[in-house]
Amino acid sequence: MTMKKLFHRNYHRIDEQERLEIIEKSSKQVSRGVFYSTVIIITSFLPVFMLTGQEGKLFHPLAYTKTFILLVDALLVITLAPVIISFFMKGKFTDETKNPVNRVLEKIYEPVIRTCLKWRKTTLGINILALAVSVPLMMNLGSEFMPPLDEQSILFMPVTLPDVSNEEVKRILQVQDNIIKSVPEVDKVLGKAGRASTATDNAPISMIETIIMLKPKMEWRKGITKKDIVNELDAKLQIPGVVNGWTQPIINRINMLATGIRTDVGVKVYGQNLDSIYALSEKVRTALEGIPGVKDLYVDPITGGKYLTIDVKREALGRFGLTVNDVNLIVESAIGGSPIGQTIEGRQRFSINVRVAQDYRNSIERLKRIPVQTPSLGTIPLATVADIRLEEGPPMIVSENAMLRGAVLFNVRDRDLGGTVQEAIEAVGKQMGVLPSGYYLEWSGQYENLIRGKQTLMVILPVVVFIIFISLYLAFNSIREAFLSLITVPFALIGGAYMVYFYGVNFSVAVAVGFIALFGIAVETGVVMVIYLNDAMQQLVKLRGNSSDTITREELKEFVIAGAAKRLRPKIMTVSVALFGLIPVLWATGVGSDVMKPIVLPMIGGVLTSSTHILLVTPLIFLMTKEYELRKFKKLEVYETKH
């Protein structure tokens, strides 16, 4: 009987109609907050939608997925959630204060918030100091376009002399492949010289491409990294006349297709004359030598190619009864080859050509002795009716924007790309001075993408902040309350800046996307806190009236503390869910983790500092504004929080 009395103590039974009305009222209360929080988070992702090029293709799926999830989530909260609540929220409910987790949280939180409200200047000073320290940390971050994605393979792209012969480049290729295969971490090696059987590959014979497939990391030597493997290979492959280049297969193709540059950074030299372009390119290369971070530096060869020139002696042709066409046929047959038939292998057909053996074609003296049959004077050597000599010329002519172009190419290692290129631009500017008329330089490659991404973000971010502020104003109908929620954004940057800096991550588009996602989370949590603080003010006004004569500073402080502590458990739960979903990425090691870590680092740090700011500083600023209202207007400005 005693247990039954204890069970029914403080229990108030309500009828079904009243229960549904309470559920409806509660659902309406959160609907407006949910709607504007969704608008704010979607708005914060507008910069991601505005990204173009590689960064747009990479992050648009993330932005679209998050946006559609939020839209559906908002719809379900307003429509489906109340129905589900009406089915399951029945029976007896204990008071929220009896929850052990909530009691522990409030026991910890209340003394802390009281201390912060007591030591106001100290609390604000610590926050402002932390914000001020984060500014130089952000300014000192290196910059890059995108964090390098580990493709678990290496592309070795050495360049040799433009007049290299087929036999020599084959020999170099074989020597390099044998050296590469000697490294224990290398699984497979496949190299090629020159262009492939496709019109899109315009590589000259002097360009070698070797794809290096690595073994699984568990089979590597202890403590060795991919960077160590590249350094070891680079040291072993120092061959005279060969300039090494190291990259990865996928990013190399993307760079070549997007910018025409096959390294991280390239200085394009435009002009009207190839010799002048080459001379300017050599000056650029000299200026770049010795700059920290500049690796694999070389000038794209546009001179130095060898051409076999055969000039027909027309006066000699007449003496021997020959024509120009006769000599051309001899040259074509001997050097280029003449088709004599076809071979059929299944569904494939191959032409059979006959020409002089390669040993004879590689020697000018032997070419001069190629026999030419005359109509009446027998056989004469080719040199009798033609001048045969080697001449220098461009191995490959590259034009862009209707102008001839050369390039100085280099990769960036052991330093951030942005800082390296900025120092390189200053060095080239001092070295080059004023360029001749009709010639100019253009920085391309990954740096070109970096500048494009920065410009997009700089234009759209102020617009996004303005739209978020307007959304907050519509939610609260108050500029002051909107500003109180928006002020959490810079304090969210504190933790993000610290995390990014101490993890040694360069600022990139991926880090910017992480900060963008953080903006929405921080503002959303701030909106919830301001709503509960305003609700506490409504209760105070209802209890004591809205006048400075009836409301004391101590009562105002107590109600602010009560409003901040109200629903503390769901606030902490929201932060914890975000952290629990993000922290495992820090320990991820698979393909793609290199890109994901820079995204989640600012979010993890920012969620921690923004939640701390919202729980401790937002109530303090709110209390100070309400005290100001009592002093100046003799009453509180209470904003409707029933939605």
pLDDT digits (tens, 9 = 90+) for 583-619: 888 787 777 777 788 888 888 888 888 888 888 888 8
Question: Is the C-alpha dihedral spanning 152, 158, 164, 167 positive or negative?
Answer: negative
What is residue 643's predicted lDDT score, i.e. its pLDDT?
Answer: 41
Closest CA to 428 of 609, 287, 537, 278: 287
CA distance 317 to 340: 27
Which residues are CB-neighbours of 149 under 8 A, at least 6 positions away?
248, 250, 251, 591, 592, 594, 595
Asked if 159 and 239 touch (Cβ cutoff 8 Å), the reply is: no
Helices (H), 119-222: 120-139, 166-181
CB 613 within 8 A of CB 130: no
SS (H, E, C) 370-430: CEEECCCCCEEEHHHCEEEEEEEECCCCCEECCEEEEEEEEEECCCCHHHHHHHHHHHHHH
**CB distance 151 to 248 below 8 Å:** yes
Give the CA angle between residues 462, 467, 469 to the nearest 5°.
Answer: 95
CA–CA separation, 113 and 560 (whole Å): 10
H/E element, 221: none
Low-confidence ranges of the chain (pLDDT < 70): 1-12, 29-34, 91, 93-97, 197-201, 566-567, 639-643
Q: What is the pLDDT of residue 181?
A: 92
Beta-sheet pairing, 153-156 with 246-247: antiparallel
What are 300's two structure tokens?
């794209």
Measured between alpha carbons, how far is 88 from 173 in angstroms, rounded to an integer? 72
Q: How many CB atoms lie within 10 A of CB 322?
A: 22
Strand 153-156 relative to strand 208-214, pairing? antiparallel
* Predicted pLDDT of residue 268: 92
What CA–CA distance (Å, rounded) separates 34 from 178? 63
- The Cα–Cα gap between 246 and 411 comes to 8
Token pair 């209890």: residue: 543
Residue type, 136: P
pTM score, two decimals?
0.76
Q: How far apart are CA 301 and CA 318, in angstroms?
A: 42
DSSP symbols for 425-472: HHHHHHHH-SPPTT-EEEEEEHHHHHHHHHHHHHHHHHHHHHHHHHHH
**Contact indicator for 280, 406 with CB cutoff of 8 Å:** yes
